[in-house]
Structure 1
Amino acid sequence: MLPTHGRYDYHPWPGRRPYAWKDGARLAVYLGVNLEHFAFGEGLGAELAPGGPQPDVMNFAWRDYGNRVGAWRLIGLLDELGFPATVLLNSAMYDYAPALVAAHRARGDEIAGHGRTNSERQSVLPEAEERALVAESTAAIARHEGTPPRGWLSPWIAESRTTPDLLAEAGYAYTLNWCADDAPVWMRTRAGRLLAIPYPQEVNDIPAIVGRKDGAEQFADMIVDDFEERLRQVEDGMPQVMGIALHPYLVGQPYRLRHLRRALAHVAARRGTVWITIAGGVLDHALALPAGTIPGDDA
């Protein structure tokens, strides 16, 4: 027998119990906007080009552009199109760029936990230190937003073997770490169940633009093609969740923002046919469904 995580069972796509999202929609779409802050001269970070010895000013400044400029332009685009967002927040942003977090708060966007900083991975920490990381990030969000976050995306989507347990124990209701499905799945933890909501590793600007070197037009086409194919697929009655993962230092660049506007406008034009929501909205809807509807729900 191969080692297994034991978090969920295999659920083949055909034969699942069909259900609908809000107002009968079969496709739910949400934006995951990553607001991240990085240590200067040390730690992890995406690279525009291979970095030299620290301090790596070029790559640090390129990432910092997102918080100083790109994120504000992205907010303008979201306002223009009437898109809500789930903000995946490094808690270090409260000290570094509080005005940016306040702007998302003023929009009514959901704030989800995304660790302290993307300069570190929680997967390499002993359990007590990982628990402290989750607690520190959670407490900062609760203090500034008035309520603790319900969802979590690990920095670099890095998990230890106990991360789902620690999240459930800390009061989290959903995780975006597991990209194994096109619909939510209940996961097992030692503190009860945790909803795995699909978060994209394909329609995601970091693997697309940084990893595969896709161009701005190609990334926008990817969003449109993914959306249109899902609309075709959900005609069989099985609902899906489409996430679009964005990082302001990437899509906030003017030429990329121009193509992103085209792609998101294409999605927004189908509002009413699809449900444009936040990750927390998917959670709330899943909780309201009859018992046994979502795979892994044994209640």
Structure 2
Amino acid sequence: MLTDHGRYAYSAITNRPDYNWPGGKRLAVYLGVNLEHFAFGEGLGAELAPGGPQPDVLNYAWRDYGNRVGAWRMIDMLNALQMPASVIANSAMYGYAPDLMAAFRARGDEVVGHGRTNSERQSTLDRDEEAALITEATTILTDAEGTPPKGWLSPWIAESHDTPDLLAAAGYGYTLNWCMDDQPVWMNTSAGRLLSIPYPQEVNDIPSIVARKDSAAQFADMIIDNFDEMREQSIGQPLVMGIALHPYLVGQPYRLRHLRRALQHICAHRDQIWLTHSGDIHDYCRNEISTFIV
């Protein structure tokens, strides 16, 4: 027998209980806007070009553009399109760019826990250190927003064997770490059930643009094609489509123009879909359709 994680059992999406999203909708769509801050001269970070010896000014400044410019352009775009966002935020953002966090708060957007900084991975820590990281980040988000975050995405989507247990014990209702499905899935933890909400590793600007070197137009076309296909697939099963965005990537002017094109396409079908926050998907699953979720 192969080693198993023990978090969920196999289930074919074609053989599950049926349900609807609010208003009888079949496809739930949310935007995951990642707001990240990085240490200068050390630690991890996405790269525009292969970095040299630290301090790697080129890549640090490229990432910082997202907080200083790109995210603000994205807010303007989201306001014009009247689209909600799930803001996946490092707790370090509150000390570094509090006015940016306040701008998303003013829009009524959800804040999702995203560790302290993307300069580190929580999977390299021992259990007590990881629990302390989760507690520290959660406290900062709760103090700033007035309510604790419901969901968590680990920096670099890095988990230890203990992460789901620690998240559930810390009061989290859902995780975005697992990309194994197009529907929410209940996960087993030592502290009760934790909902896994689909977070994309394909319709995600980092794997697309940084890893595969897709163009701005290709990434936008990917969003449109994924949306159109899932809209058709959702006739058979209710589905969730997330779109993962990082302002230092899609906030660049030429990419923003293509992203706007893709989001305008989605908004043109607004009456056919549930355009929402990932936290609202969690609430509906837990409160309204819990027994239908595998």
TM range (shorter): over 0.9
1:256 aligned to 2:239? no
TM-score (norm 2): 0.99
Question: What is the letter of the counterpart of residue 264 of structure 1?
Answer: L
Distance 1:94 1:290, change over 3 A: closer
**How many angstroms apart in 2 are the aligned matches of 1:24 and 1:285?**
13
Deviations 1:4-54 (A, max 9, x none): 100000011112001000101100000000000000000000000000000
Residue 192 of structure 1 aligns to a residue whose secondary structure is coil
Deviations 1:95-151 (A, max 9, x none): 100000000000000001000000000001000000000000000001111111010
**How many angstroms apart in 2 are the aligned matches of 1:122 and 1:95?**
20
1:266 counterpart residue number: 265
- Contact persistence 2:19–2:289 (CA under 8 A): no
Mapping of residues 89-238 of structure 1, within 5 Å = 89-236=89-236, 238=237
Question: What is the letter of the counterpart of residue 74 of structure 2?
Answer: L
**How many angstroms apart in 1 are the aligned matches of 2:193 and 2:284?**
16
Q: Which runs of 5+ in 2 are unaligned?
A: none
2:239 counterpart residue number: 240
**How many angstroms apart in 1 are the aligned matches of 2:232 and 2:33?**
26
Cα offset, 1:235, TM superposition:
1.5
Residue 123 of structure 1 aligns to a residue whose secondary structure is helix
Deviations 1:59-105 (A, max 9, x none): 00000000000000000000010110000000000110000000000
Residue 148 of structure 1 aligns to a residue whose secondary structure is coil
Cα offset, 1:288, TM superposition:
2.5
Residue 115 of structure 1 aligns to a residue whose secondary structure is coil
Q: Kindly report the root-mean-square deviation, in angstroms, between the aligned alpha carbons of the 2 structures.
A: 0.6
Distance 1:119 1:24, change over 3 A: same
Cα offset, 1:292, TM superposition:
2.3
Q: Which runs of 4+ in 1 moved over 3 A?
A: none
Residue 272 of structure 2 aligns to a residue whose secondary structure is coil
Residue 189 of structure 1 aligns to a residue whose secondary structure is coil
TM-score (norm 1): 0.98
Distance 1:104 1:291, change over 3 A: closer
**How many angstroms apart in 1 are the aligned matches of 2:78 and 2:243?**
13
**How many angstroms apart in 2 are the aligned matches of 1:211 and 1:5?**
27
**How many angstroms apart in 2 are the aligned matches of 1:291 and 1:256?**
39
**How many angstroms apart in 1 are the aligned matches of 2:173 and 2:232?**
30
1:49 aligned to 2:49? yes
Question: What is the letter of the counterpart of residue 89 of structure 2?
Answer: L
- Contact persistence 2:174–2:195 (CA under 8 A): yes
Cα offset, 1:289, TM superposition:
2.8
